[in-house]
Amino acid sequence: MAEYASLTDPELARRHGLFVAEGRLVVRRVIEDGRYAIRSLLLSEAAQQQFQLDGLLARLDPAVPVHVCTAQSFREITGFNIHRGCVAIVARPPALDPDALADAARLLLMLESIANPDNVGGIFRNAAAFGADGVLLDAATGDPLYRKAIRTSMAATLRVRFAYAQGPDVLPKLRTRGFTVVALTPHEPAEALDRFLNRPRPARLVLLLGNEGAGLSTAAVAARQHEDDRDDRGRDDGHRGRDPAQAHAHVDGNPAASYTRLCLSRLRVRHTRCGETRPSAIRI
């Protein structure tokens, strides 16, 4: 039970090779997935009864401890209110090799310094919904296996493959593998997304997304092959005609996840119009 007393310190769990799955939906998906080594469960009486009825507890290794306690005891043990009285301590999977991830992909997202767990979770949720093959992260991006990122993603961070990729050679190596690198930014001289989509589609694509406040670094923008405007210039939202820095300052507070959804949804719409026979995935 000592592990549950340290849930408020995400770095401690990470150093010990663990992550926390919180909420019935997330824990259900961890159990159903079968790839994750669950260390233990802490459940409210209601969650325990539901999992028992659904046959989820029977799918656990018999050696996995299942602790059941009251809602009040949850707070006393963990130090905060657990979402819907359900939490699991899970071993982190081995880190993926970024080259192996890229070799098997046709559509990747690459995140630079996106620290907010809500944004990280939202991006992974969009990646799962629109069929991206994986996500590349730099060291400054928030942990996809942080409990809030997992919960926000509706467990998509457990299903969408990701790898850490760092260094000045990351984008050049992707280009040598045949990827077209597209930076999503509201700054000039970016072209409108629709204009890019109206051209012949590249066989392999990487979308670069930058920090919630500062956006993409100068180095990342310089290394791209295309630069697309993250603002929808067709909208009458008061940004049209503004200085790009001013427009950037006025975008909504959750831009990274929102722009990912906008871009991926338009990629799917355009490709579906061209006769894609597998609407569950984006293939460009």
pLDDT at 220: 58
* pLDDT at position 232 over 80: no
Query: Is 30 within 8 Å of 158 (Cβ atoms)?
Result: yes
* pLDDT at position 241 over 50: no
pLDDT tens for 151-201 read 999 999 999 999 999 888 899 999 999 999 888 877 667 777 778 878 777
Q: Hey, is 179 helix, strand or coil?
A: strand
Regarding predicted confidence, which is higher, 244 or 223?
A: 223
What letter represents residue 264's amino acid?
A: L
Domains of the chain: 2-91 (3.30.1330.30), 98-273 (3.40.1280.10)
pLDDT tens for 38-89 read 999 999 999 999 999 999 999 999 999 999 988 778 878 887 776 678 999 9
Give the pairing type, strands 134-137 and 162-164: parallel
* pLDDT at position 272 over 70: no
Tell me the mean pLDDT in the region 121-131: 95
Query: Is 225 within 8 Å of 183 (Cβ atoms)?
Result: no
pLDDT at 204: 93
pLDDT at 12: 85
pTM listed for this prediction: 0.81
Label residue 218 by pLDDT band (50, 70, 90). Answer: low
Q: How far is CA 188 from CA 34, 109, 114, 212, 233, in A?
A: 47, 22, 21, 18, 12
> For residues 45 and 95, what is the distance between their CA atoms, to the nearest angstrom?
35
pLDDT at 269: 59
Q: How far is CA 82 from CA 42, 110, 152, in A?
A: 10, 31, 14
**Total Cβ atoms within 10 A of residue 213:** 11
Straight-line distance from the first to the last Cα atom of the chain, in angstroms, rounded to the nearest whole number: 48
